[in-house]
Structure 1
Amino acid sequence: MRFSLRSSLSTLSVLATLSKQAKSSSCSYVDGNYYCDETSVVVYNNVGFSSSYNDVTAMDESSCSCSTSSTSFSGTLSPFDEELSVHIRGPIQLKQFGVYYPSASTSYKKREVDEEEPCEETITTRKHAHKRDVAVEYVEVTATVYVNANGETITTSITPQTTTTAAGEQNVASPVEHEASAVSSSYTVVSTVLSGTTTAGASSTSTTTSATSTASTVAGAWERVAYYTPGSATNVTFMNHQGGSGSGVWSTCFGNSLSYASSDGKSCASSSTVLDDVTLTSDYEVVMFSADECSGQNGDCGYYREGIPAFHGFGGKYKIFVFEFLMPSDTDGSNSNQDMPAIWLLNAKIPRTEQYGSCSCWESGCGEMDLFEILSAGSNDLISHIHDGQGSGSEDYFQRPTSSSMKAAVIFNGEDGSIHIVEVSDDFGSTLSEDTVNGWLEQTGSTVSL
């Protein structure tokens, strides 16, 4: 989630909003955003397209400038098949978080965390006022190799990458895509056929409707590869923006970098620490990556800011994020985002460079997806948006869970290029059955066609 006003709504987005208004007399306009009907499902269709974005290749502290190069992408879910970081902002209490991939033989190893060490000082992270009426341009994908249910290798090839792990540790089939040499630890999927791509500059219309589900179903169970409950985590690294004291770095040019988050989520730690059973208050943010460390500058994570703890996000066109959370009211304060909780996803390259500034690929459209976001202080209406070259969002809203927790699943379906945000009641076990996931995919509600 970015906190800066970048541009006005595109013409297509305005047309989509007018279309929605015409269909529902219940829509209201609050602080620059439309709110229409309560929903338990938001589905984004036709997500992937082909274009490019400006990838950061260097950050120069002496001149306070960045170097970039153009990175092309294409795919049914691009750019959201790239590695993603997961962000939560208070007031919020996270009860569960998990990531699932289609089942495979690969096992995941829990990364032990060192005992928390106190920070020497606190450095204020730069914040910005936030507006939600923007649509950005451009967006990449790397090669993905899968093995289908019949044991056949299926490849969508653009720019292959290889997973690297620290010496002596178990190889982790993680958030990053694999080369053909890693087929034995790939994920099982039904198909990787590319379809429905939109070339840069092509005309398209984004609309929000309530319709019968036409989502492609998936075959097989899904394996949990990352999981958190308060005080315990497997393959999850917790960070915030307190770099410069304890971990990470700070500079007058680029401010605070990523740092390890302490167990309260509000301050920094010198090593990886698990988040406790805490309620983050307004404006505090925690970022979640995998526990798979980047191999080094310009390695398997590409470029990242020097001196930071750098970890992989969660990549691939077939993945599921699950959450259980509360968003209680918080009126005791005067923060820039007072009583405005949110859960969102970013291209993991953004926080590894400069999340709150111009030195990242965000402005050129490498991808942001707001899953559950309050845009007006004290509101109980959570809405969702996508920010890339096809940026759009739903004017229908989820009810904010202020007193009892809400469970939700976010399903990235590379089969048909859709992303489903679904309120659910199921348990988040070590596996998710085919029937459970297909049941989520078949739920209907608000549909946004990009």
Structure 2
Amino acid sequence: MVIAAAASNPLSQLLIVVPVVILASGLGAWAVRRFGQPAVVGEIAVGICLGPSLLGLVWPGLQHRLFPADILPFIGALGDLGLLAFMFLVGLALNLGLLRGHSRTAVAVSQMSIALPLVLGSALALGMYGTFAPDGVDKLPFVLFIAVSMSITAFPVLARILTERDLYRTRTGAVAMACAAVDDVTAWCLLAVVVAVTSSSSPMAALVTVGLSVLYMLVMLYVVRPLLARWVARAERKWSDSAVLVVLFTGLCLSALATEEIGVHALFGAFVFGTMVPRDSPAVERAAARLQAVAVPILLPLFFVSTGLKTDLALLVRSGEQWLWVLAVMAVAVTGKWGGGSVAARLSGQRWRESLAIGALMNCRGLTELVVLNIGLSLGVIGTDLFAILVVMALVTTAMTSPLLTRILGPQPRPESDAPPASGAEALSGPDGAVRTARSKEPAETA
């Protein structure tokens, strides 16, 4: 058998695994789009199906031959590389100019849809600590991590849903994008604090990590950002698109390395570097499109399957108590994000219909939630049983979004053209959660 013959050679095994994963993810994305779902739902589901939850259950021999233990680090490394590129693209797409004219509503909704999940998530975590906390994990990092994981909104997936439903030019779409932008920045800053607290061996070490993080942000804002602005202006005239791509990729890697060494995770550095790069440059847009064309359809599916290999839903069926915890997590997640976002939008002057739609969009977690959960699992803050529960929550809350919007706002309109949207949605997401800018003429579909 070819798979068996390749098992001793990591390169040969990768040459089998990578096409299988890419094709399976593309098929999953295509299938769920037929039902009006964002493609990330299908990609998450495919990753889970290729893991112990389905393939490992019905055909364990094939699952072990396809994903032997010695190949998993390579799959994880390639997936992480795609994830770094993805986080850079998310940062590049994050346009706080969306707040113009909606700042009061955006701040109110985003902060309420973070504050309420933090409070409810903390209460839930205190109840879960004795059952789910791995040995040796203190209560504070466990509670902080669960609280932050409840407060995530997937900005790229939300942007894609708005685009597909032709909502990005509406007031509701503009407000939702602005809310998600503020939410994204706040949530990643909170996660950086949680990682610092979790990774540090003492309170003093945690303070040092936070201090270095502040210094890093100051350097990025007042040194790197102006230098990038001047370099981009020259690159338009003197640099080739390939050279621009090389510089941007090198920059995101160095920024990711800096935050990894500081102790707040490499993904945070890639995200921050993306926010520092000027967005109004055609050369940057072309380079970002090239990066997306490789990272999103080829590397990112390896992250989904890496996540799926760590997710064993069989852990949930062994006890009815586990499903009670699933329901509790779902209740907290939906109440905190949909409930908190809807009430805050209503109190900010939106009508109930638009408020409920904004809350439903804030409840979409997508790939961003998986990123956070993998960080928690790698840090040892959560175990595989709680990881599986939270992955189910991420999948269900993402799948809920489109049906809820249809119920609230009516059926999704047919797209009349694939022209780029107006300035209200400068950053759009591709079908699998990737980002493209409004100037880009390439179609968003990649699978």
TM range (shorter): under 0.3
Q: Quick check: which one's strand share is greater? A: 1
Q: Tell me the TM-score normalized by structure 1.
A: 0.27
Q: Tell me the TM-score normalized by structure 2.
A: 0.27
Q: Quick check: which one's helix share is greater? A: 2
